[in-house]
Structure 1
């Protein structure tokens, strides 16, 4: 009986610790893509996009990431290349991404690269309020920093690199 009580107490303690941990999540849209070939469904970053990817690394130079997630496109992966993250995992579905992070990466620092039509959806899926109404095809300079603790999430929006809206 004592062993069972001890096991139950330890399980409860570890559960509380995992819920008390804060997960830091950074979310960006991929940098500018090469639009020279309109038929290319998976383009590389443009020259401007490679510069922005470098600006992202400068902006986040003090952040040490445990893991990153990117859609299986060249441009999302290339946006993260300058960050030197050991493990980059492909994702396709926002709900599955959020569930995976909440289950397996609690308390870690995470980078997510997405697209103009998914970045704000990701922010909301973690439970934070959408900080902008939308992202257009021309919005490349926004970055979102989520702090997730249990089921509560807060988001701060910033900008990096050359302002896209001059």
Structure 2
């Protein structure tokens, strides 16, 4: 009887180990890229490179709060006051340096290539402009989740998933911070 019980226990153990939900060897998790437009800007102070308004500074804190628990390992921003200020609270919370990128089409392609070389299973944040965020999503291989971003819209938080396999990237539009 004891041997029969041990045999059944061994078979049950082997069967359960075959039902494990672990990923197959060699597979890796998807990379998640969060893309936002800079916060509200104050063009009265500096029309060429405006800083954030008080509302924009609040939006930067909302971005930090929205992404603080995500496994962010890299942060990218164009080289403007408003984009850097939008992501600075998150960068400080994560103890990460903000890397700058060129928002021209060639620069967006280079940024997408660089993101694809980062370790899988982590998150990346990219801050851009109303006329570059959707183009960056396309450079990452995903279709635009919205047709355009109006000049008055600052609360989109786009989430692009880059699968570890050969499947295409996907994008979805979320919102964060105060409504406009």
When normalised by structure 1's length, the TM-score is 0.81
The equivalences for 1:141-156 within 5 A come to 141-149=155-163, 150-151=165-166, 152-156=168-172
Of the three residues 106, 125, 142, the one matched with 1:128 is: 142
Match of 1:82 in 2: 89
CA shift at 1:107, angstroms?
Answer: 3.6
Q: Please report how far the alpha carbon of residue 132 of structure 1 lies from its aligned counterpart in structure 2 after TM superposition.
A: 0.7
The yes-or-no answer on 1:63 pairing with 2:78 is no
The answer to whether the aligner puts 1:44 opposite 2:51 as a matched pair is yes
Alpha-carbon distance between aligned partners in 2 of 1:96 and 1:127, rounded to the nearest angstrom: 13
Spell out structure 1 runs of 4+ moving beyond 4 A. none
Corresponding position of 1:6 = none
Please say if residues 128 and 153 of structure 1, whose CA atoms lie closer than 8 Å, have aligned partners that are also in contact. Answer: yes
Structure 1, residues 55-88: CA drift from partner, whole Å, max 9, x if none? Answer: 1122223213101000011111110111124121
Q: What is the CA–CA distance in structure 2 between the aligned matches of 1:87 and 1:108, rounded to whole Å?
A: 16
DSSP 3-state at the match of 1:66: strand
Structure 2: gaps spanning 5 or more residues: 1-24
User: Out of 33, 38, 43, which is 1:30 matched to?
Assistant: 38
Structure 1 contact 66–87 (Cα < 8 Å) conserved: no
1:139 maps to 153
Aligned length: 147
Q: CA deviation at 1:20?
A: 4.0
Aligned-residue RMSD, C-alpha: 1.8
Structure 1: gaps spanning 5 or more residues: 1-15
Highest Rg: 1 or 2? 2
Rounded to whole Å, the distance in 2 between the matches of 1:116 and 1:162 is 18
Cα pair 1:71 1:113 within 8 Å, conserved: yes
